[in-house]
Amino acid sequence: MRVKSPPRPRCRRRPLNSVYFDRWRASAAASTSLIHAGIRDHVSLREVLVPKGTVLERIVDANQSLGKSEAQYQRRARCTSQQRKAAMIRLLTPGDLLAIKRIIAETDMFPPEMLDAMAAPFFNGKGGDESWLVADDGELVGVAYYAPERMTEGTWNLLLIAVRPDRQGKGVGSGLQRHVEHELAAQGERLLLVETSGLPAFGRTRRFYESLGYIEEARIRDFYEAGNEKVVFWKHLGFRIRPASVGDVAMLQAVELDAARVYDVDQVTRFCVDLPPRDEREHALARESGLALVGEVDGLPVGFILSVPKDGHAHLVELAVARAHQGRGLGTRLISAFEAWAAAEGIEEATLTTFRDVAWNAPFYERLRYQAFEPEDNRPELLELIAAEKRAGFHQAPRVAMHKRFHQSRPLIAPPQPYNP
């Protein structure tokens, strides 16, 4: 059960992650020097902040290739020491059991004395492919347990994820979840299932899974007990996000045109079907001054997101997913990658404009904690955009401006790190 965490100190730029520092120190301490904040004098800071082969590397590459300077990474490292260190994610060991039992007891997951029998197959090698992970930042703060679903091909089940109450709401759970996804995707697995209760008390848990791109697939009535249903979520692991390139434009325009066909169901929004897609200039502007990401399934672009600066914030220009792939959480995952990039850049707020009453527009963003607002005179670029939309006839259906402040969101946790069993 996830509970509200106390407020944390605010900081526009994030401190250098101790996980990256430790990994560098183990391999290169003899050849470089460090200052107190953990910054290397003679080795590129990018290698410390952005480990190779991670999603974060691909996101940063989209920005770094546009001429962003090394000084940006240095500024990020100058945050105050009030911010916590990110947790290292590693395999469970027998010595961890006592601390994990305390977490299980504090979160009221199940009787903690059951843990020994649950973990025994993992330690004695009889657990097959099942795996246990812990989040460790000097003391254990979280645990995850996942295993393959029997009689399926490439389907896995996340059977347990728990975070110490005083560390809930700080990115530990999402870090564990993403690490599991990373490991399974690297193995070529297809689906990851998670389940939780349908009771109102578990509403925050369900929103947590939805925020990570999980789709509610089924509800089984009276599963846990009379009146307590089981809610099953799933996520496809074959969806890959990468920076957009010039050569993607034609394919992304086709995706946008296909995605717009969903507006044909309502007379009020039918005009959207005939609108031209974003042109090469708009794609180039996002690549050069903001962010442009492509979502692929089996190497084929099926979605994308474009963002440009407006009034000092990140404005979401376009989010499109091909109709055959809608409803699978791909749009949510593109939004999550966009927000990760914005938070890493120290951007405090994202804005967008969308249709107020279309189910997959404003209500979709509301589920991701975006809020409707009335832009004031201190947002001249956004006001001009809204005026341009009115001139173009977009307000045939009610439109709304929305925003999300990132300093109110969970901080990023370290991307998945290699570990040795």
Please list, in sequence order, all residues whose beta carbon lies within 8 angstroms of the beta carbon of residue 5, skipping any fewer than 6 positions away: 166, 167, 168, 169, 170
Residue type, 265: V
Report the distance separating Cα 219 and Cα 411, nearest Å: 31
Q: How far apart are CA 393 and CA 390, in angstroms?
A: 5
pLDDT higher than 50, residue 10: no
pLDDT digits (tens, 9 = 90+) for 171-185: 899 999 989 988 888
User: Residue 48 above 60 pLDDT?
Assistant: no
Query: How confident is the model over 270-282, as pLDDT tens digits?
Result: 888 989 999 999 9
Each residue of 61-109: pLDDT tens digit?
544 433 333 333 333 333 333 334 567 999 999 999 999 999 999 998 8
List b or e across 211-244, with b for residues whose CB sees 16 or more CB atoms inside 10 angstroms: bbbbbeeeeeeeeeeeeeeebbbbbbbebebbbb
Residue 12 has pLDDT above 80, yes or no: no
| pLDDT surpasses 50 at 333 | yes
Does residue 420 have a pLDDT over 90? no
Tell me, what's the pLDDT at 291? 95
Quick one: CATH architecture of 240-408?
3-Layer(aba) Sandwich (3.40)
User: Of 16, 141, 48, which Cα lies nearest the Cα of 88?
Assistant: 141
| Domains in the chain: boundaries | 18-76, 88-236, 240-408
Find the mean pLDDT for residues 358-370.
91
CB 92 within 8 A of CB 100: yes
**More reliable by pLDDT, 224 or 414:** 224
As a CATH number, domain 88-236 is: 3.40.630.30
Average of per-residue pLDDT values in the chain: 78
Q: Cα separation of 362 and 352, whole Å?
A: 10
**For the segment 127-185, what is each residue's pLDDT rounded down to a tens digit?**
788 999 999 989 999 999 999 999 998 899 999 999 999 999 888 999 999 899 888 88
